[in-house]
């Protein structure tokens, strides 16, 4: 059953912030592999994403979905415990951006970096991602379409 509002699904990052971050990453990077992990996938919510070139992960196996979420360079999360656990089991090389965390300390006991946005405050993370992930191929004049 879906809970929350369309703009702020329960325990998830606001869709407008997801769209903003993905748009900025897409503008700066040569290629993005986007995975949307959503239990009991809801097409109403998915249709609010500004991008459609994602892989939906909803296997029905919570453990498999957890590790699929954790296995990303950049993870966008709300304040759910499931998301916090994904952050804790994620490889150390990566960045987790958490919005609205009521308990920011639950993301600190990890070797992976996390940025907590209190009260839904959103900032531009593209430069930080570029600095922390030199292996990410960024757009240049030679590889732009």
* Mean pLDDT over the full length of the chain: 77
pLDDT at 137: 60
pLDDT at 51: 93
**Measured CA distances, 24 to 58, 121, 132 (Å):** 26, 16, 16
- List residues bridging with 114 in a β-sheet: 96
pLDDT at 12: 80
Name the 3-class secondary structure at 14.
Answer: coil
pLDDT score of 69 more than 90: yes
Contact 100, 117 (CB under 8 A): yes
In the structure, what pLDDT confidence band is assigned to residue 4 with cuts at 50, 70 and 90? very low
pLDDT at 3: 43
Domain map (residue ranges) of the chain: 15-132
């Amino acid at each position: 059953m879906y809970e929350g509002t369309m703009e702020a699904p329960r325990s998830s990052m606001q869709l407008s912030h997801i769209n903003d971050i993905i748009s900025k990453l897409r503008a700066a990077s040569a290629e993005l592999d986007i995975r949307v992990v959503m239990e009991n996938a809801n097409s109403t919510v998915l249709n609010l994403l500004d991008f459609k070139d994602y892989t939906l992960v909803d296997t029905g196996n919570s453990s498999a979905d957890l590790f699929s979420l954790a296995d990303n360079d950049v993870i966008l999360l709300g304040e759910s415990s499931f998301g916090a656990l994904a952050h804790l089991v994620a490889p150390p090389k990566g960045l987790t951006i958490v919005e609205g965390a009521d308990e920011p300390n639950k993301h600190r006991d990890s070797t992976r970096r996390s940025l907590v946005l209190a009260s839904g405050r959103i900032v531009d993370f593209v430069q930080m991602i570029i600095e922390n992930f030199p292996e990410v191929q960024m757009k240049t004049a030679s590889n732009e379409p």
